[in-house]
Amino acid sequence: MNLVYIHWAYRNGVVLHGEERILILFHKPKAKHISAFCAKPQPPITTALSTIRAGTSAFRLQPALLFKFHKPIPTHCLLLLSFTFVLSFSCVAAVLSPLKCCSVDSFCGCCVEVTCACSENYCELIMAAWSSRKLLRDVFLKRGVLNRSSSVRGFSSAPENAPKIGYYSKKGRLLTGATLGLVIAGGAYVSTVDEATFCGWLFSATKLVNPFFALMDAEVAHKLAVSAAARCWLPREKRPDPSILGLEVWGRKFSNPVGLAAGFDKNAEAVDGLLGLGFGFVEVGSVTPVPQDGNPKPRMFRLRDEGAVINRCGFNSEGIVAVAKRLGAQHGKRKLDETSSTSNNEVKNGGKAGPGILGVNLGKNKTSEDAAADYVQGVHTLSQFADYLVINVSSPNTPGLRMLQGRKQLKDLVKKVQAARDEMQWGEEGPPPLLVKIAPDLSKEDLEDIAAVALALHLDGLIISNTTISRPDNVNTNPLATETGGLSGKPLFNLSTNILKEMYTLTRGKIPLIGCGGISSGEDAYTKIRSGATLVQLYTAFAYGGPALIPQIKAELAECLERDGFKSILDAVGADCR
């Protein structure tokens, strides 16, 4: 069997040449299946044409694959080949979106049909292939086999009008056959594995992409990652989280305590894609009332050997209006899904944005003279879409912002924001919890003042901590350490964990704390929890490790809890401070 070339059929016909046999794959727009027809052009050729036309009389041909063969092939071989290629299409579609069912509908004469519950997968697959026809031509027609003049709407069987068909060498034919065989066999195997195994493969495969991101500029790579998540090009976690990781905080059910810190998705572009990775919660922002570009570029620097990043972005934000539009659309979709859900009695983890909890981090504009007014405006606009709100007063890249962490300034600010939140009308679930994010570069006195304000005003929580302006000894040797900005990543772990322990002791464990800073493994997350954190957040480690890091951290965290005999996350909170 000599596979000469692959060509694309047009809507109303294909090109036949001489005594060759053909195989056509096409899609019925109004039917849920793909059909494969094989025809024998001789004798006479009109019989073959009538056979194809009889099968396609009820609909128009979509862009389809036409396989030409140089030598005559027995009918039973051609039928088997047609079935094999249709099956391979099913396998590829299963990879893109797992099929609910797939069965052979009929197998008779010269027609094979495979029925599928989700036909749109096939349509998308074929149209994607159609858009890549030029690439296929370049690959399969190296000798210029394809002649544009032969691609006509009708049928032509005159041998004198047929283009000369090139031949591949024996090695080329063997390579082509082996490749097709591997694709079909691999697709068939993938379609038989369970969903959990396949999901694990997808997450592991993302490690192959990390080196390409490492070659890019830090901010370009960041934007590309957000764009990929926004378009749901990242794998989705289908495996349930270990039951030991589930917990309830502020009346919200978290499937796991591992979240994504603010700063990654600043403008709420990719909430659904990021939650789909398996995070228990995602925090967007910081969001400013008025759009602003932030500080001049370059403003993000990788310290690879130290597993750290220095940034001085300066609250670059599209503003609360743009973010409110995106969150409003996601909130509406979530409500629609809940309304159409058939299992009303099922208790689901998640919040206003989807399967996970959504936090909104609020910031102030660089040129604003009234910081409280900026935060109040953010509350009025975005609180209806948030499962919790964060007042960010600890970024080192906005002049004067950290001064709001003083006892009097913080007390006045929190009072105004709480009043703005409480004056709004809320349903049964009540207003979103209000948290404050603090810096790691605070003195013992500063920590005592913040703890006192948090207890006096019944603050719902604290996030500990933001980036640091200090440079630990293991970072000072890096030439980039002299860059201005906040340092995040592994060098921040010890500093932020010590602040976390201190704050847990000062608040006597009465206020939920979120541990953030330097977490890169399940053991790190476990250390944060034992130091007083109820929840933990990643950022820099996720930027370096990619999606594969998330299931790894959750699995390691569950192992740590079981190893030390804890039955839940809440049992382990503050274990090292008791």
Tokens of 135: 């690439």
H helices, E strands: number in the chain: 19, 19
Using a cut of 0.75, tell me whether the model's pTM lies above it. no
Question: How far, in Å, CA of 440 to CA of 486, rounded?
Answer: 11
pLDDT in tens, 84-98: 554 454 444 444 433
Which residues have a catalytic role annotated? 395
pLDDT in tens, 497-520: 999 999 999 999 999 999 999 999
Instruction: Determine the straight-line distance between the first and last CA of the chain, rounded to whole angstroms.
Output: 76
How much is the pLDDT for 382? 94
- 282 pLDDT more than 80: yes
How much is the pLDDT for 181? 75
The more confident residue out of 309 and 3 is: 309
What percentage of the chain exceeds 70 in pLDDT? 65
CA trace torsion 421, 465, 315, 390 (10° rounding): -10
How much is the pLDDT for 73? 44
How much is the pLDDT for 158? 43
Tokens of 255: 């499937």
Question: How far, in Å, CA of 7 to CA of 370, rounded?
Answer: 66
φ/ψ of residue 464, rounded to 5? -130, 105
Kindly provide the b/e burial profile for residues 206-230, where b requires at least 16 CB atoms within 10 angstroms of the residue's own CB. Answer: beeebeebeeeebbebbeebbebbb
pLDDT in tens, 31-74: 333 344 444 333 333 333 333 333 433 333 333 333 333 344 44
The more confident residue out of 13 and 507 is: 507
Mean pLDDT for the chain overall: 75
> What average pLDDT does this structure show over 212-240?
91
DSSP 8-state class, residue 134: H
Tokens of 121: 């997968």
The answer for residues whose C-beta is within 8 angstroms of residue 156's C-beta and 6 or more apart is 15, 16, 150, 162
Count of other CB atoms within 10 angstroms of residue 327: 24
Question: How far, in Å, CA of 387 to CA of 435, rounded?
Answer: 11
- Which helix H or strand E contains 26, and what residues bound it? strand 22-27
CB 87 within 8 Å of CB 188? yes
The more confident residue out of 168 and 528 is: 528
Question: How far, in Å, CA of 360 to CA of 383, rounded?
Answer: 8
Question: How far, in Å, CA of 52 to CA of 366, rounded?
Answer: 69
CA distances from 142 to 2, 7, 128 (A): 16, 13, 22
Q: Any bridge partners for residue 489, and if so which?
A: 308
How much is the pLDDT for 184? 73
Q: Any bridge partners for residue 247, and if so which?
A: 254
Question: How far, in Å, CA of 474 to CA of 306, rounded?
Answer: 8
How much is the pLDDT for 33? 39
How much is the pLDDT for 528? 97
pLDDT in tens, 181-203: 777 777 666 656 667 787 888 88
Three-state SS annotation for 113-128: EEEECCCHHHHHHHHH
Count of other CB atoms within 10 angstroms of residue 427: 6
pLDDT in tens, 365-412: 998 889 999 999 999 999 999 999 999 999 998 888 888 898 999 999
Question: How far, in Å, CA of 4 to CA of 300, rounded?
Answer: 52
Tokens of 573: 């909170």
> What average pLDDT does this structure show over 147-160?
43
Cis peptide before 240 (omega within 30 of 0): no
CA distances from 119 to 90, 105, 110, 196 (A): 10, 14, 22, 24
Q: In which residue are the tokens 């109303």 written?
A: 12
Tokens of 300: 């993000």
Question: How far, in Å, CA of 426 to CA of 196, rounded?
Answer: 39
Question: How far, in Å, CA of 197 to CA of 475, rounded?
Answer: 39
pLDDT in tens, 433-464: 999 999 999 999 999 999 999 999 999 999 99
Nearest Cα residue to 202 out of 239, 173, 175, 168:
239
pLDDT in tens, 333-367: 777 766 765 444 444 556 665 678 999 999 999 98
pLDDT in tens, 93-127: 444 433 333 333 333 333 333 333 333 333 444 44
